[in-house]
Structure 1
Amino acid sequence: MNNEVAEKISILMMQINAQLNDSIALVRDNCTQEEFDSYRRGAAKVMAEILLKIVNPLYSEHPELMPEALDGTYKVNPKIFEPRFYEW
């Protein structure tokens, strides 16, 4: 995969992860504890699959794209997360 495509996929995966986090907060703030626990477990499984099957292999092939938040060198533009789905 070329670097331009890899960078776009990396950004998309960061956005997806942020939206999943927002959805977890939405459920936490508006549902029962039981619903929240179940939803959080399901969302965590999705996030883990994204990490293991897409993100880790991508950063193995393109380590220069690893974000600073993960101890890499890639500077993420915070605007990629706007507009937020849910404000906590």
Structure 2
Amino acid sequence: MHRGKGILHFSDMIKRANTARQISDLMLDIYRRLDESTAAVRKTCTSEEAAAYQKAIGRVIYPIIFDVLEPLYVEHPALKPPNGNHDLAPESCDGPPFVTSSSLGVIP
């Protein structure tokens, strides 16, 4: 099943547009909640704790973006939010510094 840029290639799994929309909405909601959790940690924890937490969350967010959402949008381009990369580019995730949109081939 590893034919696309991500681990999952949704052309093998999700053909129905309604199901694809539901998955997109759920994954974007998960992303936003994880992002909100990092803001809460930054407000209440030490900078060391916040950095450790943010790094861990980055390891969760990257697969959501590159293994689920991007392959889904290849199969269903109409679902891709109009701002291009739905503000979920790696640079906005504070994940590992060596991973960037260009190094991962983000879909324009």
Tell me which interval the TM-score lies in, with the shorter structure as reference length: 0.7 to 0.9
Q: Name 1:31's counterpart in structure 2.
A: 45
SS class of match (1:70): coil
Paired with 2:74 and 2:46, the residues of 1 have a C-alpha distance of 40
Q: Which amino acid aligns with 2:21?
A: E
Q: Name 1:70's counterpart in structure 2.
A: 84
- Tell me the CA shift for residue 69 of structure 1: 2.5
Q: Which amino acid aligns with 1:45?
A: R
- Tell me the CA shift for residue 68 of structure 1: 1.4
Q: Name 1:53's counterpart in structure 2.
A: 67
Pair 1:42-2:42 in alignment: no
RMSD over equivalenced CA pairs, Å? 1.3
The list of structure 1 runs, each at least 4 consecutive aligned residues, that deviate by more than 3 angstroms after superposition, is none
Question: Which string of whole-angstrom CA distances, capped at 9 and with x for unpartnered residues, describes residues 25-59 of structure 1?
Answer: 00000000000000001101111011111001100
Larger proportion of helix? 1
Q: Which amino acid aligns with 2:44?
A: N
Paired with 2:85 and 2:46, the residues of 1 have a C-alpha distance of 36
Structure 1: gaps spanning 5 or more residues: 73-88
- Number of aligned positions between the proteins: 72
Structure 2 length normalisation: TM-score? 0.63
Q: Name 1:75's counterpart in structure 2.
A: none
Structure 1 length normalisation: TM-score? 0.77
Q: Name 1:6's counterpart in structure 2.
A: 20
